[in-house]
Structure 1
Amino acid sequence: MTLRNLKRPARRRVVLGVAGLAAAAGLGGIAAFRAAAASRGLAIRTRAGVAFGTTVALTAAGRDPATIEAALTDGFAAMHAVEAAASLFRTDSALAQLNREGSLAAPDPHLVALLRFALTLAAETDGAFDPTVQPLWPVWSSAAARSARPAADALRAAIDRVGWRRVRLEPDRILLVPGTALTLNALIQGYAADRVMAALRGRGIADAFVDTGEFGAVGAHPDGAPWRLGLADPRDPGRLADVIAPFTGFAATSGDYNMSFSDDRVDHHIFDPSTGHSPGGLSAVTVTAPTGLLADGLSTACMVLGRDRGAQLVAAHAGCAVRFTDKV
C-alpha cells in the first residue's frame, strides 16, 4: 500500500443533466438543446459557482427568464446560508465556532436541523454514522503528509474523543464534551440540495436540476425528456458505471475515491467510528431518497455498515433505494 498526500479529484460523479442529456439525445450540444426548449416556449438558465469546497451548478427552466434568474439567485443564497451555518471550509461558520468554543448559544437553525438529523441517524445506526469523527481527520491528514499511517497511540487518542453521545442539543444551545469536534460534511451538500430546491419552488420553478455536490431534480428536462443522472465508475471516473433514468428526487454518493489517503484507497475520508480506520467492503454507495439530507446521510452510513446492514437500513426508509459498488 502506498501512502500519499490527500488529494481531491475535480468531480466525483458524472452528471447527465443539461449538456450531457442534450448530447445523449443527439441534439448536437447545448445550443441545439436551448433551441429545442425554446420551441416548447421555455427558457433555460444554468448558473455555476463554488460552494462546500467544490463546484456547484443550478439549472432551471420556465417561461419567464427574469423569474428563472431570480430563482437561481435565491438558490445560491440558500447554499451560502447553509455554508455559513455548518461548513468546515469556512472558519467563520457557526459550526467552526462551536468546535473552537465547545458551546454555542442561539445556534443557527440550519445547524440545528443538520445536527438533529445527524444524532438521530447515529442512534439508528448504533454509531456507525457519527458526526463527532472530526478528531480523526487531522490525525490521518497529518500522517498522510508524511507518507505514513497514524501511530496507534495517536489514533487511539482521537478515537477516545469520538462519540455522538458527547453532544448535547438543547432548545437554545449546543454543548460539546471537551475535546469533541463535529463534522457535518456527510450531510451538508444533501441538505443544501433540499434548501436550494425549496428556494426554486418558492419562485414557481417546476423543472430544475440541482448540483450542490449531491443532486436533486424535479419535473422534466426542458426538451420534454426525463432527467437522467450518470454515476461515475469509482475506479475510472471518466466512465459511466450506471445511469439513473428517469431521475427525480435526490441522490447522494459516498465513495473511497472522493478524498483518499492512499493510492489504493484503503484509507480514505470515511471513517468507521469504532476503529478510526476506513471501512473496507465498498468502493461506493449511491442512495436515492425523497430528500437530499436523507440520501446523503444514508450513503455515508452504508459505507460503514457494509452491503447487508446498509441495505437493511435503506429498506427501513420509505421511498429510498441504494446501489452498492464492492471494493476492487
Structure 2
Amino acid sequence: MSGATAAFPTAPLSRRRFLGIAAAAAGVALMPGLLRAAPLPAGIPVRVWRGTALGADAMLQIAHPDPAEADRLIALSLAEVARLEKVFSLYRPDSALVRLNRDGMLDRPPADLVRLLSEAVAFGRRSGGAFDVTVQPLWQLYAGHFGRPGADPAGPPEAAVQATRRLVDYRAVEVDAGRIAFARRGMAVTLNGIAQGYITDRVTERLIAEGLGQVLVDLGEIRAVGRHPAGRPWTVGLKDPSDETRLTATLEIADRAVATSAGSGTSFDPAGRFAHLLDPASGHSAADWLSVSVLAADATTADALSTALSIVPADRAAAILNGLPGVGARLTRRDGTVLSLPA
C-alpha cells in the first residue's frame, strides 16, 4: 500500500519506478468495486479509488459532493494515465519511446515526449549530469548480466561497464518539436526517474481544469491540491526502506508534491549489491544513500530531483538544491541517520 487515504491519518509512501509499466493496461480501467465514499466529520466527502496504474498500486482521492461525478473524474484520470503509457512505455512495441530507442530517432514525436525529454535535459544540466535519462544502456548491461545463469556475482566486467558508459550523455539527445534524435548509435532513453512524476502532474492538471480544488493523486509519486476537506493538510508517510512495515517520517502537504527514490526498489542481483539507481559518471550503482525523498511544488521536479540526489554525495546534493526555493529533501544514510536539505 502506498500514499495516503482519507480514512487513515497516515499511510506508507513507497517509491515505485516505471519499470513495470507494461502491466498497467490490465489494471487501468475504472474498478467500481474499489471505489468508496469516505464521509468526514466536516467538509465535502472524499471519493477514494484504489487500483493499479503504471504497473503498481495507485490511489486517487477526490473531494466532491456528487459521487457519480467523482467517479467520472476518476475514469478521466485513468484514461489520461493510459494515454501517456502509450507514449512512455519501455515495453509496448508501439510506444513512442520504444520506437525512439529502436531507431535512434523519431520524427513528429508526441508533444508529451518532447516536453518530458526537454525537462529531463534541463534537470541533467541542473544536476551536473547526475540525472541522466540516457542510462538505459547501463541498465540493460546489468540486467542482461545478472539475467544469465551462473552470472558473476561481482557484476559485469569493468571494461564492459566503461564501454557502455560512453553511450550515456543527456547532452547527446537532440530534442525538437519535429524530431528527437540521438547523436551516438546505441544510445537509449529510460524515463524511470521522471515519468511517474510527469504523469502525476498531468492527471492533477486535468482534475484542476475540471474545477477541483481538493485532490490527492498517488501514481507512484504524490501530489496534493489544496487541503484535506477536514481542514488539515493531506498526510503521507515515508516508508523505512529497510523495513516496509515501519514509517520513518510523516509529512503534511498542501499544494505540494513528494517523491522518494530508494535503491532497494529494484535490485539486479539476489544479494542486492547492484541497484537500479546508476551513477552516469562511474557506471556503477549509487551507494551513498538508503533513500531520498524530495518535496517540491510539482511531482515532475520532485521525481527528477529524488533520482539525482540519490546519485551524489551530500555536498553536491546541497549544491543542486541551492537556488531552488521551496524544494526540500530528506536523505537517509545507510546507517539510518538523516540529512535534511536545506539544513
TM-score bucket (shorter structure): 0.7 to 0.9
CA distance in 1, matches of 2:169, 2:52: 32
Report the Cα offset of residue 246 of structure 1: 4.0
Q: Does 1:188 align with 2:190?
A: no
TM-score, normalised via structure 2 length: 0.84
Q: Does 1:287 align with 2:294?
A: yes
CA distance in 1, matches of 2:280, 2:35: 48
Correspondent of 2:263 among 244, 256, 262: 256
Correspondent of 1:197 among 186, 198, 204: 204
Report if the CA contact (8 A) 2:224-2:253 is conserved.
Answer: no
Report if the CA contact (8 A) 1:62-1:68 is conserved.
Answer: yes
Correspondent of 1:156 among 159, 162, 176: 162
**Correspondence for 2:88:** 86
Report the Cα offset of residue 19 of structure 1: 3.1
Report if the CA contact (8 A) 2:262-2:291 is conserved.
Answer: yes
CA distance in 1, matches of 2:272, 2:255: 31
Report the Cα offset of residue 40 of structure 1: 3.6
* Deviations 1:156-208, CA, capped at 9 Å, x for gaps: 23112111122111231001121110011100000111111111112211111
**Correspondence for 1:26:** none
CA distance in 1, matches of 2:334, 2:267: 14
Amino acid across the alignment from 2:163: A
**Correspondence for 1:57:** 59
Report if the CA contact (8 A) 2:43-2:229 is conserved.
Answer: no
Q: Does 1:267 align with 2:274?
A: yes
CA distance in 2, matches of 1:95, 1:136: 17
Report if the CA contact (8 A) 1:71-1:200 is conserved.
Answer: yes
**Correspondence for 1:325:** 332
Correspondent of 2:129 among 127, 130, 136: 127
Amino acid across the alignment from 2:261: S
SS for the counterpart of 1:180 is coil
Report the Cα offset of residue 222 of structure 1: 3.2
Q: RCO greater where, 1 or 2, for CA within 8 Å and sep 6 or more?
A: 1
Report if the CA contact (8 A) 1:41-1:63 is conserved.
Answer: no
Which 5+ residue runs of structure 2 have no aligned equivalent? 12-33, 336-343
SS for the counterpart of 2:136 is coil
CA distance in 1, matches of 2:89, 2:119: 16
Amino acid across the alignment from 1:283: L
Report the Cα offset of residue 263 of structure 1: 5.3
Q: How many residues align?
A: 309
Deviates more, 1:92-101 or 1:79-88: 79-88
**Correspondence for 2:72:** 70
CA distance in 2, matches of 1:283, 1:307: 13
From the superposition, tell whether residues 144 and 20 of structure 1 become closer, same or farther in structure 2 (CA, over 3 Å): farther
Report the Cα offset of residue 245 of structure 1: 1.9
Correspondent of 1:115 among 86, 105, 117: 117
Report the Cα offset of residue 126 of structure 1: 2.2
Q: Does 1:18 align with 2:6?
A: yes
Q: Provide the alpha-carbon RMSD of the alignment.
A: 2.4
